[in-house]
Amino acid sequence: MTAIANATTPRPPGQPGGEAAISIRGLGKRYGRVEAVRGIDLDVAPGEIFAFLGPNGAGKTTTVEILEGFRHRTEGEVSVLGVDPDAGDGGWRNRLGIVLQESQPEPGLTVREALELYAGYYARPRDVEETIALVALDEKADTLGEQLSGGQRRRLDVALALIGDPELIFLDEPTTGFDPQARRAAWQVVEGLRALGKTIFLTTHYMDEAERLADRIAVIAAGRIVALGTPETIGRRDRRAATITFSLPANLRGAHLPAGLRGVTHLDDRGRATIRTETPLVQLLQLSGWAIAADLDLPDLDVRRPTLEDVYLELTRDRKDG
């Protein structure tokens, strides 16, 4: 029964099953005496959106460029779509789409012409007009690439990476320097790719981007993976202390709080109360029971879980160089 259920139920993203889109074992990269990457193990499942986070200099770009076949590893085993990137040929590149961290439009070509040029590189390209529509550049199809805005250029980059109808797409900091509107537009494009069943390997410096888009996140620091998990659970985020804050009415002092809260509540000079707790429900029950009984409504009551950014900063702190 279980076996049949496993075979027919769609596999939740991030669960190993079938051939991994990306498989990394003991990856190491050394530049002279500098060890940029020190033994990475990772698996990315087909159809997954995987976010790869880490501070500058942590080995992120090195790892991504090894996966893309632009750099050569010094240690370990790597398989991307079942192929060693060091031996990746045209047939392999036919199945990949790569959005580089920094690349300008093709000079002297319009959006449509650039896509026509790149479509010619692939065995089974997508339709040019359809791809233009997918990145919402319809109105700019006849505009020269260099006349596009920053956000539009990046969308053209994404379109160029999609024109070959790839199974796996690398997005290296796709929204760096975007205004909020442009970022939302780019996210919608990525979500459209998820709907098409593409596997996406994303690097970003924006935690909200990773949280919104990624099925799983890996954090790299000083050349090692320091945390791996879903946006909700990475770095034991779901188990970490929550923070309850509220303002104590002006006529009350700490001594007026219920007995169970007195010891754990920190009060600042302005009457702002903070409770750090791993069992927020218990403290909230005590607090609300007390407040209702005393006819207080605590209008600025707030309960906050640690954000992904809190967890990320803690994971990467003091790990600049292991």
Partner 1 sequence: MSMPLVLHQARYDLRAFLRNKQGRYFTLILPIVLLVVFVSVGVGGKTVGPDHADSSTYYVPGLSALAIVAASFVNLVISITAQREAGVLKRRRATPVPAWVLIAGRTLTAIVVSLATLTMLLAVGHFAYGIELSAATIPDVAVTAIVGSAAFCVLGYALSTRIRSADAAQPMVQALMLPLYFISGVFVPSVDLPGWLRHVASAFPVEHLADGLSHAYSPASGVVWSDLAVLSLWAAGGLVLALRRFSWTPSTTTT
Instruction: Find the binder of partner 1 among 44, 85, 106, 135 (CB under 8 A).
Output: 106
Smallest distance from the beta carbon of 314 to partner 1, in angstroms?
A: 23
> What tokens were used for 205?
């410096």
Residue 90 lies near partner 1 (rule: CB under 8 A)? yes
Instruction: Find the binder of partner 1 among 70, 127, 129, 254 (CB under 8 A).
Output: 70
Collapsing DSSP to helix, strand or coil, 182 comes out as helix
> What tokens were used for 41?
């193990």
Choices 110-118, 224-232, 261-269, 288-296; region in contact with partner 1 by CB under 8 A? 110-118
Q: Sketch the per residue contact string, 9 through 48, with partner 1: x for CB under 8 A, - otherwise.
A: ----------------------x----x------------
Residue 202 lies near partner 1 (rule: CB under 8 A)? no
Instruction: Find the binder of partner 1 among 25, 41, 74, 109 (CB under 8 A).
Output: 109
Residue 164 lies near partner 1 (rule: CB under 8 A)? yes
- The answer to whether the Cα torsion of 32, 38, 42, 44 is positive or negative is negative
Report which secondary-structure segment, H or E, holds 303: strand 302-304
Between vectors from CA 96 to CA 185 and to CA 182, what angle results, nearest 5°? Answer: 10
Between CA 107 and CA 117 the distance in angstroms is 12
Smallest distance from the beta carbon of 56 to partner 1, in angstroms?
A: 7
Report which secondary-structure segment, H or E, holds 105: none
Beta-carbon contacts of 70 under 8 Å, excluding residues fewer than 6 positions away, are none
Smallest distance from the beta carbon of 286 to partner 1, in angstroms?
A: 51
Report whether 53 contacts 19 (CB < 8 A): no
Choices 13-21, 75-83, 102-110, 250-258; region in contact with partner 1 by CB under 8 A? 102-110
| CB closer to partner 1 out of 93 and 183 | 93
- Burial of residue 232 (number of CB atoms within 10 Å: 0-12, 13-18, 19+): exposed
Instruction: Find the binder of partner 1 among 14, 134, 157, 198 (CB under 8 A).
Output: 157
Task: Using CB under 8 A, count the residues that bind partner 1.
Answer: 39
Closest listed residue to residue 178, CA positions, set 161, 163, 160, 190: 190
| CB closer to partner 1 out of 111 and 160 | 160
Q: Sketch the per residue contact string, 231 through 260, with partner 1: x for CB under 8 A, - otherwise.
A: ------------------------------
Residue 142 lies near partner 1 (rule: CB under 8 A)? no
- The answer to whether the Cα torsion of 26, 27, 29, 34 is positive or negative is negative
Between vectors from CA 191 to CA 186 and to CA 194, what angle results, nearest 5°? Answer: 135
Collapsing DSSP to helix, strand or coil, 279 comes out as coil
Residue 68 lies near partner 1 (rule: CB under 8 A)? yes
Smallest distance from the beta carbon of 121 to partner 1, in angstroms?
A: 4
Q: In b/e form, how buried is each residue of 233-259, taking b as 16+ CB within 10 angstroms?
A: ebbebeeeebbbbbbbeeeeeeeebee
Instruction: Find the binder of partner 1 among 28, 75, 83, 122 (CB under 8 A).
Output: 122
Smallest distance from the beta carbon of 287 to partner 1, in angstroms?
A: 49
For residue 178, what is the DSSP state?
Answer: -
Q: Which residues bind partner 1 (CB under 8 A)?
A: 31, 36, 56-57, 59-62, 68, 70, 90-91, 93-94, 96, 98, 100-109, 113, 116-118, 120-123, 144, 157, 160-161, 164
